[in-house]
Amino acid sequence: MPKIDLTKVPERRGSGYPAEFAAQCAERVRQRLGDAGGLGDFGVNLMRLPPGNWSSQRHWHSHEDEFVYVLAGEVVLVEDGGESVLRAGDCAAFPKNSGNGHHLINRSQMTAIYLEVGSRSRDDIITCSDIDMMSPSSDGRFLHKDGRPYE
């Protein structure tokens, strides 16, 4: 298995969300390890979440299983059923089409580092639980829930 040189994997800061939804995730940093390794069936992202930042808007996936594993620091998992603290060594799984909106918030004083793993279904639609936004994985656009694009 070829070793991935993390220093050569591009870092993407922020979320790409429309401006009105981007501030909470503005400082998160993602490295797409699965892409760097040439993986096609699933993605693996190394995430760095500074204090005060969110991993994403609270969301769920129609056709994609998702898994997170905390490597360092502490985050709060927010989902429909409430909040749970996740620390280094903790993990969480989100089955596809559960309708259980989730995200992570770093309320601590140090950057949290975690792995994010998900299948790569082109049929997936990401639906945000608390705001009027969705995104089809087929093209990555951000849309209102009625299908109108954000401008």
Model confidence over 31-51: pLDDT tens digits?
A: 999 999 999 999 999 999 999
Domain assignment of residue 123, yes or no: yes
Please, which pLDDT band fits residue 113 given cuts at 50, 70 and 90? very high
In a domain, 13, yes or no: no
Contact residues for 34 (Cβ-Cβ < 8 A; gap 6+):
42, 43, 44, 45
Going by C-alpha positions, the residue among 14, 13, 7, 71 that lies closest to residue 36 is 7
Confidence of residue 1 (pLDDT cuts 50, 70, 90): low
Residue 4 lies in a domain: no
Residue 120: inside a domain, yes or no?
yes
Residue at 151 is within a domain: no
Give the total number of structural domains in the chain. 1
Task: Give the containing element (helix H, strand E) for 19.
Answer: helix 19-22
Model confidence at 56: pLDDT above 60? yes
Q: What is the pLDDT of residue 140?
A: 86
Q: For residue 25, how many C-alpha atoms fall within 13 Å in the half-sphere facing its CB?
A: 20
- Residue 102 located in a structural domain: yes
- Rounded to whole angstroms, the Cα distance separating 33 from 145 reads 30
Instruction: Report pTM.
Output: 0.94
Cβ atoms of residues 42 and 33 within 8 Å: no
In a domain, 99, yes or no: yes
For the beta carbon of residue 68, count every other beta carbon within 10 angstroms.
Answer: 22
- Residue 107: inside a domain: yes
Assign residue 105 the CATH number of its domain: 2.60.120.10
Question: What domain range is 78 assigned to?
Answer: 25-135
Considering the chain, what is the average pLDDT of its residues? 96
pLDDT digits (tens, 9 = 90+) for 72-89: 999 999 999 999 999 999
Give the torsion sign (CA, 14, 22, 120, 147).
negative
How many residues are given for the chain?
151
Measure the CA dihedral 13/14/17/18, to 10°: -100
